[in-house]
Structure 1
């Protein structure tokens, strides 16, 4: 009687263990799936249709208020000139404003006296007509701007270029995966994961830090060709 009672649980355990074995085996196969990870890069180039320029005004004064007042007057004149040249309000944005003391280190290096103040104001300007870029810079300088931080050329509608760059990045990654698996003598399987990487726009180009007013002619500007880049990371199964 006792032996019969024990036999049933033992048999149930054996059946349960046998039933669970395929599931455990399948899980182990999935955990040890062979994969290959590749990255791809795509690029799309086109002639830019918009310029972004950093235009600044810097003034000095004996007091902070004097320097700031002169700087504000000069920047107001610069902004007015930009608007006179049909630059829209939405395309003019203040990007920097500062007032800092100037020290005379020759008199006392450890505790130099303040001999005046420097005020700076910078605006970022978007120019949607590249043909006017040189004239805008020249007129801004004549109106009082004396700092030009940099210029970059970009696109008003960059989405189609980014889409092309991403598609090319996927093609590049797949080509790498096919090349590597072929060289290794294995077969490329299904795509497991795909991850979008970075998408990079054209970088600003440095220009002269300070400029003097010139009435000779417009500043020569060459937009050339701008490139956007995109990357992807892809994981394939190896069969």
Structure 2
């Protein structure tokens, strides 16, 4: 039995339903972001800073050969912390710790492992998780959003058909919901054999869109 759509205007006895639509697109990442850094310690703060700066500059210079431009390298964090030991409730000053973290964007994923190894070889002693991303994410998000809308409409139509309801064809409202961006964090694993690049497999990312849709219907 077919139930024709009804108009939501001037209709007595209208009821409403809300549905959530979800759309997902699986894509291959095309950029990676990683943080590498240097931690130095010295009783003299200036010497700790100078030692840190020397290693950081060596790391930056070495990455040029791996197709990492200067525009894709920036300071993510820099801080100096006094160090103390505690004995019998008394603090004893032991020196300064200088930490400088670099955020590096790698546009050629073939070099991710080499970037890590090169940074470590040049003196980096801090490497954080790798995040794989999609550079043109909006292109894929629009596809996921289309799927989310289609999914929401299909859900509403299924419920109306199953319950023998007269569903208004057009939704009364559509609300786009925020979705946490899917990133693939990977722990750093250093190559143990000199000359062997750290193996990195980026896998795939999932771009997700969600919508909330409200439809009117009559029994």
TM-score bin, normalised by smaller chain: 0.7 to 0.9
Whole-angstrom distance in 2 between the partners of 1:208 and 1:68: 25
Runs of 4+ in 1 over 4 A off after TM superposition: 29-33, 211-214
CA shift digits 1:63-122 (9 cap, x unpaired) = 3222222111111111111123221122112111111122213x14x4422212211111
Q: How many residues align?
A: 208
- Alpha-carbon contact 1:60-1:67 (below 8 Å) kept: yes
CA drift at 1:151: 0.5
TM-score (norm 2): 0.85
Equivalent in the alignment of 2:81: 100
Whole-angstrom distance in 2 between the partners of 1:91 and 1:100: 27
Equivalent in the alignment of 1:225: 204
Equivalent in the alignment of 2:171: 191
Change (3 A) 1:228 1:188: same
Equivalent in the alignment of 2:49: 68
Structure 1 stretches lacking a partner, 5+ long: 1-28
Q: CA RMSD in A?
A: 2.3
CA shift digits 1:168-204 (9 cap, x unpaired) = 1111212222223333332221311111112443325
Which structure has more helix as a fraction of its residues?
Answer: 1
Equivalent in the alignment of 1:205: 185
Structure 2 stretches lacking a partner, 5+ long: 1-9
SS in 2 for 1:104: strand
**In the alignment, is residue 146 of structure 1 matched against residue 125 of structure 2?**
yes
CA drift at 1:214: 6.1
> Larger deviation: 38-47 or 175-184?
175-184
TM-score (norm 1): 0.79
SS in 2 for 1:217: coil
**In the alignment, is residue 216 of structure 1 matched against residue 216 of structure 2?**
no
